Amino acid sequence: MFEPTVSPRPSVVAIAASLLVLGACQREEAAPAPIPAPAAPTPVVTVAPSPTLDRASLLEAMDLAASAFAAGREVGG
C-alpha cells in the first residue's frame, strides 16, 4: 500500500490557520466619494477686434526694422 512521505496534518493545520487569519481580518472602509466640482458658468467669448495693421503694413514695418537693425541704429518701437 502507498504510504505518504509527509503527514497530511501539517497542511490541514496550515490551511486552518490561514483561514482563521483571513477570517480575523477586518474589511477596510471604502474611501468617501469625491465631492463633485461646482459647475462653472460658460465663459463669454467676445469677438477679437480686427488687426490695426494689414499684411502690407506689417511687411513694411518688418522691412524698416530689419534695415535699422542692420545699419546699427536703434529700432523704434
3 within some domain:
no
2 within some domain:
no
Range of the domain at 57: 10-71
Structural domains counted in the chain: 1
4 within some domain:
no
Inform me whether the pLDDT recorded for 54 exceeds 80. Answer: yes
Q: Return the exposure string of 20-33: e unless at least 16 CB atoms fall within 10 Å of the residue's CB, then b.
A: eeeeeeeeeeeeee
pLDDT at 59: 93
Cut 0.75: pTM above it: no
pLDDT at 13: 81
Q: What is the mean pLDDT of the chain?
A: 81
29 within some domain:
yes
Condensed to tens digits (0 to 9), the pLDDT of residues 3-36 reads 666 666 777 888 888 888 887 777 778 888 888 8
77 within some domain:
no
1 within some domain:
no
